[in-house]
Structure formats: C-alpha cells, structure tokens
Amino acid sequence: MKDIQERKDIELLVDEFYKKVLKDDVIGHFFTEVVQLDWEKHIPIMYDFWETTLLGNIKYKGNPMVKHIELSKGGIS
C-alpha cells in the first residue's frame, strides 16, 4: 500500500473504510441504525477532515468533538 499523498488517496481510504464498517457485525449498526447520517453530506466532510489532518490543506473548519458529543446526547444534524 502506498502512502497517502493527495485527496484521491484519502477518498479511497474513507470509502473503503465505510464499506467495511457498514458491514461489520459489531459496530455496523451504529452507522446503519443508531446514527441517521446523510451520507451524501457526511462523506465529503470526512474527506475534508482527513485532508486537513493528513495533508495540511485546510478544508475542514468544524469541531469533530462537538459533533460526537451531540451524538452521545442523542441529537445530531
């Protein structure tokens, strides 16, 4: 496997991750039943987050901790 060098590498990683997670017997239900995500909105945010984190290209300006805290309290947008 090659190193992540550009956004298309991140997109591949994120897409493959979610393909596996959604099918996982242990945690898949969080993504398919517990959390009602708008996948068309969520996936580009994940691309931006990881591009910012891994490549230093500032694409994501949100606060992932706030989103996860909201989720744990039962409300996410």
Give the dihedral sign, CA 64/69/74/77. negative
pLDDT tens per residue, range 27-48: 999 888 888 788 999 999 999 9
At position 67, the amino acid (one-letter code) is: K
CATH number of the domain residue 60 falls in: 1.10.490.10
Count of structural domains within the chain: 1
Range of the domain at 19: 7-72
Tell me how far apart the alpha carbons of residues 57 and 19 are, in angstroms, rounded to a whole number: 25
In a domain, 1, yes or no: no
In a domain, 77, yes or no: no
Give me the residue label for tokens 């990881």: 50
Question: pTM here?
Answer: 0.82
Please check the confidence at residue 65 and state whether its pLDDT lies above 70: yes
In a domain, 54, yes or no: yes
Mean pLDDT for 23-27 is 95
Q: Nearest-CA neighbor of 45 among 14, 17, 74?
A: 14
Q: In the structure, what pLDDT confidence band is assigned to residue 77 with cuts at 50, 70 and 90?
A: very low
In a domain, 47, yes or no: yes
